[in-house]
Amino acid sequence: MAARSWRWNCWTACPDPAVRHPAAPRRKPTFLLTAPAGRCPARPCPHEEIMETKRTAYLTLLSPEDARRRWFAALDDAPLPEESVPLAAALHRITARPVAARRSSPAFHGAAMDGIAVRAEDTFCACPQHPLRLEVGTQAHWINTGHPLPDGCNAVIMVEHVVSEEDGRHVVIEKAAFPWQHVRKLGEDMVRTEIILAPGTRIGPCELGALAAGGVLDVPVFIRPRVAVIPSGSEIVPLAEAREEDLNSGRVLPEFNSLIFSAMIEEAGGVAEIRPIVPDDPAAIAAAVDAALDGGADVVLLNAGSSAGSRDYTAQVVRDMGQLLVHGIAVMPGKPTVLGVVRGRPVMGAPGYPVSATVAVEEFLLPLLARRQRRPLPQRERVQAAPCYPLPSRPGMEERLRVKLGEVDDTIIAVPLPRGAGTVTSLSRADGILTIPAACEGLDADVPVPVELLRSRKSLHGALLAIGSHDNTLDLLDGLLRRTHPAFRLTSAHVGSLGGLQALARRHCHLAGCHLLAADGVYNRQAIAEQLDEPMLLVRLVDREQGLMLRPGNPLHLHGVADLARDGVRFINRQRGSGTRVLLDHLLGREGLSPSRIQGYRDEEYTHMNVAAAVLSGRADAGLGVLAAAQALGLDFVPVGVEEYDLVIPQRLAQDERILALLEVIRSDAFREQVDALGGYGTTRTGEVIWEYPGRAAE
């Protein structure tokens, strides 16, 4: 808990009567839980340095398992009420009790083949040496598949094994039938009163068919749990109302977490009711919770305001309205989670950042909905995957890390996606979730660990894993590959050219993007020979124009690399090992400039688009990158040269069906047309094998 102290609260009084705010009459000092000083809400305040707003301290951090147990123990464990719905409306609903067949299926002995129905015992003497002649209508009866057997018959002989005589009144068979041959017996599938579906079953297409066969036209299911989703935040606006100029200025943020929550709730069998956005005001939040509960919500999900900042009120509201059971979970992302009970119903506060919020909903809300519907929480398939490099982590906090996966030489490699709690693309791009236990400081590279799959195990085989330099054309390549070869996809991770070659050396990827310039002016060959032992193919992807990306209008009048050393010019660099960083060092050396003279030389980004975004936002005045990135964000561009961007592919994979498909796409007219449309690229040699590296053993 935070320390207690006596402080003047600017909401109630200002210590100097001469500058007292009109709405803040002189009062006694207020006893508060203190934390670092916050800003006075009536800005500007001349005594802001001593003003302080109330902050909510975290309770003891609990593991996800302990937090769930505490929350569930305080809730009514009764299942949801049930209702009866027509069979046609039962898809994806959850059965509330055992569902029994109302009739047998089949309801009669029926033919499973076209042919003749017979009494098997009458055919026992038939054989090729002594064919048996049967009279149609008495000893044999023509029958079609699915039709009921005539009285006295207990077998069907396939039409292919029957010879009709010319008179049409007799047939000949050469093989005896056995009892119940090619017959679907009464109740073979199900018998009346037999249980078809157990309680807690999610009804899918096949379950619908089973219910129909059993004559069940009305299905007892749980009422779908209603989850009221209340977004909060004075700075957020509905997604449809967000104007570009306001978003770009940072005045407002679009609210889209509720869209994610709605889909997750619907998949879990619930109904999401999105409530209006409420401002950062405890009274307004409490009123929204009351309205949701009065409206019949089974669960209330408050989004944002669950942390411990001065304007985070979720925990305070839950405490004031009912029971605050949990505030803070020992898991990253998702730590600022609130769990409580108000008026006997569960209330949850999820963090505002999308990744944190998604983890919180997966950890707590989805298990709660499954529990109320008496169904097991769906379990994701797990595989063993080896991290491509060490993954440090904070001890004492369990970490959920989203990863890309690729199967290289029968080993599944895990490449971590950005860890930021607000990086929503890590949710859509991830193939799996890797958990780093709270008891360790991280994971070692190349040591397999369990990973929960977000995609099918089979899809991993079709994934080509590219690790190395970033280029926008890789995304075009992936799109065309999926369109022309749906079983395959290109998944890329951006660690720089040198990092890509090192990943190839460790057999952590299928190919690497590379554009490393050597002192002799030749791209990639020297770096490949220095880093790799096994034979490689160097395939040209594109020639691309590199240059300085500058703020629109080039307000600082920068015309070349030498201008980066001017006072007041802020630069944004690429990470070590990237080809763009190597190019910059080459250009600086040619100008006789030390990197120490470049303000921002050590400020790094991992992609050309992120460098462009840094310049556009005003964080930097210039960055080195490709023309396509500058054009995409409307930046000025000063070219410094054309470089060769190649793909490095192990020769042992040259006949792999995925690599062959990729090369086919690279050499297609469609790919060249899309690349040319980006601008700043050359495709004259695209798809050519520029060099066959024999490997060190051949040297």
Which pair of tokens denotes residue 315?
Answer: 């925990």
pLDDT of amino acid 10:
33
The strand pair at 571-574 and 604-605 is best described as parallel
* Highest CATH level, class, for 82-105+189-222: alpha beta
Percent of the chain whose predicted confidence (pLDDT) is above 90: 72
Half-sphere exposure of 381 (CA within 13 A, CB side): 11
SS3 of residue 599 by DSSP = coil
Determine what percent of the chain falls in helix, strand and coil, rounding each to the nearest 5: 30, 30, 45
pLDDT of amino acid 479:
94
pLDDT of amino acid 27:
33
Give the architecture (CATH level 2) of 110-184: Beta Complex (2.170)
Half-sphere exposure of 177 (CA within 13 A, CB side): 29
- Which CATH superfamily is 226-372 part of? MoaB/Mog-like domain (3.40.980.10)
Dihedral angle over CA of 119, 124, 129, 135, nearest 10:
-20
- Mean pLDDT of all residues in 488-507: 91
Report the distance separating Cα 461 and Cα 457, nearest Å.
Answer: 8
Query: Has residue 401 got a pLDDT over 70?
Result: yes
Plot region of 593 (φ>0 → left; ψ -120 to 50 → alpha; else → beta)? beta
pLDDT tens digits, 402-432: 999 999 998 999 989 888 777 777 888 899 9
Which pair of tokens denotes residue 247?
Answer: 């978003």
pLDDT-derived band at 698, boundaries 50, 70, 90 = low
Which pair of tokens denotes residue 40?
Answer: 């006075």
Give every CB contact of residue 24 below 8 A, 6+ residues apart in sequence.
10, 11, 12, 13, 14, 42
Which burial class, exposed, middle or buried, applies to 262 when counting CB atoms under 10 A from its CB (0-12, 13-18, 19+)?
middle
Report the distance separating Cα 550 and Cα 634, nearest Å.
Answer: 9
pLDDT-derived band at 16, boundaries 50, 70, 90 = very low
In the chain, what are the domain boundaries? Answer: 1-55, 82-105+189-222, 110-184, 226-372, 381-455, 512-698
Higher pLDDT, 353 or 56: 353
Query: Has residue 11 got a pLDDT over 50?
Result: no
pLDDT tens digits, 213-246: 999 999 999 999 999 999 998 888 888 887 777 6
Query: Has residue 649 got a pLDDT over 90?
Result: yes
Query: Has residue 21 got a pLDDT over 80?
Result: no
Give the architecture (CATH level 2) of 381-455: Beta Barrel (2.40)
pLDDT of amino acid 310:
55
| pTM metric for this prediction | 0.77
pLDDT of amino acid 13:
33
pLDDT-derived band at 490, boundaries 50, 70, 90 = very high
Return the closest-CA partner of residue 221 out of 78, 91, 379, 77.
Answer: 91
Tracing tokens 């069907």 back to the chain, one arrives at 156
pLDDT of amino acid 427:
85
> What is the CATH topology of the domain spanning 512-698?
D-Maltodextrin-Binding Protein; domain 2 (3.40.190)
Report the distance separating Cα 103 and Cα 87, nearest Å.
Answer: 15
C-alpha R_g of the chain: 35
Same fold, 82-105+189-222 and 226-372: no
Task: Assess contact for 262 and 272: CB atoms under 8 A.
Answer: yes
How many other C-beta atoms lie within 10 A of the C-beta of residue 25? 11
pLDDT tens digits, 665-684: 999 999 999 999 988 899 99
Report the distance separating Cα 368 and Cα 264, nearest Å.
Answer: 13
The secondary structure of 393-448 as a DSSP string is --TTSEEEEEEEEEEETTEEEEEEPP--TT-THHHHH-SEEEEE-TTSSEE-TT--
Query: Has residue 1 got a pLDDT over 70?
Result: no
Report the distance separating Cα 565 and Cα 551, nearest Å.
Answer: 17
pLDDT of amino acid 240:
80
Which pair of tokens denotes residue 173?
Answer: 């068979």
Most confident of 39-43, 243-247, 309-313, 493-497: 493-497
pLDDT-derived band at 208, boundaries 50, 70, 90 = very high
Task: Assess contact for 512 and 663: CB atoms under 8 A.
Answer: no
Task: Assess contact for 478 and 663: CB atoms under 8 A.
Answer: no
| 202 DSSP 8-state letter | B
Most confident of 75-84, 109-118, 414-423, 578-587: 109-118
Task: Assess contact for 620 and 513: CB atoms under 8 A.
Answer: no
pLDDT-derived band at 699, boundaries 50, 70, 90 = low
pLDDT of amino acid 2:
35
- Mean pLDDT of all residues in 262-278: 95
Query: Has residue 32 got a pLDDT over 90?
Result: no
Q: 556-572 burial, b for 16+ CB within 10 Å, e for fewer?
A: eebeebebbbeeebbbb
Which pair of tokens denotes residue 60?
Answer: 């003891």
Which pair of tokens denotes residue 138?
Answer: 């008495």
How many other C-beta atoms lie within 10 A of the C-beta of residue 175? 12
Question: What mean pLDDT is reported for the chain?
Answer: 87
| 49 DSSP 8-state letter | G
pLDDT-derived band at 309, boundaries 50, 70, 90 = low
pLDDT tens digits, 569-580: 999 999 888 889
Query: Has residue 37 got a pLDDT over 70?
Result: no
pLDDT of amino acid 20:
33
pLDDT of amino acid 35:
32
Strands annotated E in 289-379: 299-303, 323-327, 331-332, 338-342, 345-350
pLDDT of amino acid 50:
31
Q: Cα–Cα distances in Å, from 20 out to 27, 42, 45, 49, 186?
A: 11, 11, 9, 15, 90
Q: Cα–Cα distances in Å, from 144 out to 58, 113, 138, 165?
A: 73, 7, 17, 19
Query: Has residue 66 got a pLDDT over 80?
Result: yes
Report the distance separating Cα 460 and Cα 419, nearest Å.
Answer: 22
Query: Has residue 117 got a pLDDT over 60?
Result: yes
pLDDT of amino acid 56:
53
Dihedral angle over CA of 323, 324, 330, 336, nearest 10:
140
Higher pLDDT, 51 or 396: 396
Q: Cα–Cα distances in Å, from 131 out to 113, 171, 174?
A: 22, 10, 5
Task: Assess contact for 310 and 341: CB atoms under 8 A.
Answer: no
